[in-house]
Amino acid sequence: MATLPSFSARRLAICGALLILSTGTGAAALPKSAKRAAVARATPNLPADVLERLQSGDSASIQSALDDVRVAGRDGATAAPVIAALLRQGMPLSLTRAAIDTLADTESDAASDVLSWYSRHRDAGVRRSAVQALAHTGGPEAVPAVRIALADSDPDVRGAAATALGALNARDAVADLFRALDRNVKEAGASLGQLCAPSDCERLVDKLGQMPFEVVTSGIERMLVRPVTEVGDDLKLRIIARVTELGTAGANGFLRGVQKRWPKRGSPIVRQALDEAVRATSASPGSRHRGGTR
């Protein structure tokens, strides 16, 4: 008999439990007690009847099942295919939002396809929820769908898409994020700081003084804490120097915040530059720390 080395015994049990509840033949062949026992063995962190409630057709039962799956978090991923099937069939708007949010909590890439479809839903709130969920589930459809959402007609959806691209580590989307930033999608700044290559990082730093300070520094802060293999110390030192040159209270507050959160094992050279930059800007007009470094 052929073996299936890519599936553990637990994974096979889960598949069997899902088959029992999602196929007409299996469902008819076993009583409810047997179905629940199969689900309980496969998903010990979920109530035994959770998949049954999801398929009940009763709104209150479906909502209670979604609540249980959300509490289970990643352990609720076994229910993701059933929830995705419900979304494909269509549900009332409130249950649709709840189902999408639940899929986000499961972090199951099995939901990527249906979430990408809902990221183009007629309701802006549903689109935003779907984009936010894709940031957690990933999957092959996630990045393409979120890149499209970056040009959505709704500003909240655009913002959610910019944040999601950072969470998805979508380095190919850097050019899209710069276009979004230029169109006032402020959330793009932080994601650019996570994803930029050195030349793109300097391009973002060049926007100091051209865009709101907090938008640019949301990305700069991400750059400064990235590993040296991605953003070298030389570039980090140049970034700190550029912020210091501003000589403003905002610059001092930003540098002080980075200094406070600098990891103990972080680069001592960068740490020294931060200390010096904080001292250099501490006398800036409006600074709450004039005359001191702490």
Q: Could you tell me the pLDDT band of residue 288, with boundaries at 50, 70 and 90? A: low
Among 190, 222, 250, which residue terminates a domain?
190
Q: In this structure, what CATH number is given to the domain that contains residue 149?
A: 1.25.10.10
- Look at residue 56 and tell me if it is in a domain: no
**What are the CA-CA distances from residue 104 to residues 10, 134, 184, 281 (Å)?**
22, 7, 27, 43
Residue 281 is encoded by which pair of tokens?
Answer: 């800007």
- Is the confidence at residue 238, as pLDDT, over 80? yes
Question: What's the rounded mean pLDDT across residues 89-106?
Answer: 96
Which structural domain range is residue 215 located in? Answer: 196-294
* Total of domains in the chain: 2
State whether 185 and 69 are in the same domain: yes
200 vs 11 pLDDT, higher one = 200
Q: Identify the pLDDT of residue 173.
A: 97
State whether 142 and 227 are in the same domain: no
Q: What percentage of the chain exceeds 70 in pLDDT?
A: 81
* Spatial CB neighbours of 214, under 8 Å, sequence gap ≥ 6: 250
The radius of gyration of the chain from alpha carbons, rounded to an integer in Å, stands at 24
State whether 214 and 158 are in the same domain: no
- Look at residue 156 and tell me if it is in a domain: yes
- Look at residue 19 and tell me if it is in a domain: no
Q: Could you tell me the pLDDT band of residue 22, with boundaries at 50, 70 and 90? A: very low
- Is the confidence at residue 24, as pLDDT, over 50? no
- Is the confidence at residue 169, as pLDDT, over 60? yes
pLDDT tens profile 240-286: 999 999 999 999 999 999 999 999 899 999 999 999 999 999 987 65
Neighbours of 183 (CB within 10 A): 12
AA identity, residue 290: R
AA identity, residue 256: R
